Amino acid sequence: MLLAFPTPSNSALEIGPLTIHFYALCIITGVAVAIWLGDKRFRAVAPLGAHVVSEVAITAVPAGVIGGRLYHVISSPSAYFGNNGSPLDAFKIWQGGLGIWGAISIGLLGAYLRYRSLAKKFELPGFAVFADALAPGILLAQAIGRFGNWFNGELFGRPLDTWWALDVPARYRPNGYSQFESFHPTFLYEAIWCTAVAIALVVFSKNWKPGQVFAGYVFAYCVGRFFIELIRIDTANAIAGLRVNVWVSVIVALAALAYFARASKKQG
């Protein structure tokens, strides 16, 4: 497939004894962007909130990484505890595998606990306002992080023969797909979707009630993730013939939509 864009030949950069994994670099870059944008947005609504986002990030980011990894390992146990799996591989985060649902839920819990302690010292608005300020930045972090999957040669979709297809080397192709050369670049679809949703939230949410921006982020992301999951071909557990993440997308999207509607009725 001459028109397909390639999968990077290297997933890491070696400088002497130091190895820099591009997956980790993408995650770190995404976190930095999320903190920068979140801080800018939060200080716009809370003048006394300088440095609050970075303070919360010290707790929330590690919690999110741990939560994301736990979700991935629990939802794909055979890769680590199956016949050909290695439990120690569960600690190799640089090889990819951070479940967004675990990252957001545990990361949000860590953020809430840290924010609550800071709110007692300063005159800060409710946590819903803080979460709203973070939402667009989190989306951009997810978009940037997805390029780490590109460097790792993972999370692509069904075979595709067109100009935007992803050329995948034989060593990365799943069983049953060795005869195909190009596939749906699902990492790119998700990156574009997350970026578009982030921009839409910044532009159109100025008059929304507290909590609605974060709920809108969760709902919109789930909608995109639902369709992306339907074309992915990497190994995943399934329920009633559908990938677990398809079901999770539906359930979380409905919960976010319900919260969005409820928040719209709040005063202020």
Report the alpha-carbon distance of residue 24 to residue 70 in Å, rounded.
Answer: 17
Beta strands in the chain (DSSP E): 5-6, 12-15, 18-21, 166-167, 182-183, 238-239, 242-243
Residues forming beta bridges with residue 210, ordered by sequence position: none
pLDDT tens digits along 85-138: 677 777 777 666 778 888 999 999 999 999 999 988 888 999 999 999 999 999
pLDDT tens digits along 180-230: 999 999 999 999 999 999 999 999 999 999 999 999 999 999 999 999 999
Q: Measuring CA to CA, how many Å separate 230 from each of 95, 184, 223, 225?
A: 23, 11, 11, 9
Report the alpha-carbon distance of residue 40 to residue 50 in Å, rounded.
Answer: 9
Give the pair of three-digit tokens for residue 142: 């997810």
Residue-wise DSSP of 178-231: TT--EE--HHHHHHHHHHHHHHHHHHH-TTPPTTHHHHHHHHHHHHHHHHHHTT
Give the pair of three-digit tokens for residue 10: 């290297």
Percent of the chain with pLDDT over 90: 67
Min mean pLDDT across 10-24, 78-92, 116-130, 240-254 is at 78-92
Q: Which residue has the tokens 């146990």?
A: 77
What pTM value is reported for the model? 0.91
Give the pair of three-digit tokens for residue 253: 């999207």
pLDDT tens digits along 219-242: 999 999 999 999 999 877 889 989
Please give the single-letter amino acid code of residue 6: P
- Helix H or strand E encompassing 141: helix 127-152
Q: Which residue has the tokens 């990894």?
A: 69
Report the alpha-carbon distance of residue 4 to residue 184 in Å, rounded.
Answer: 10
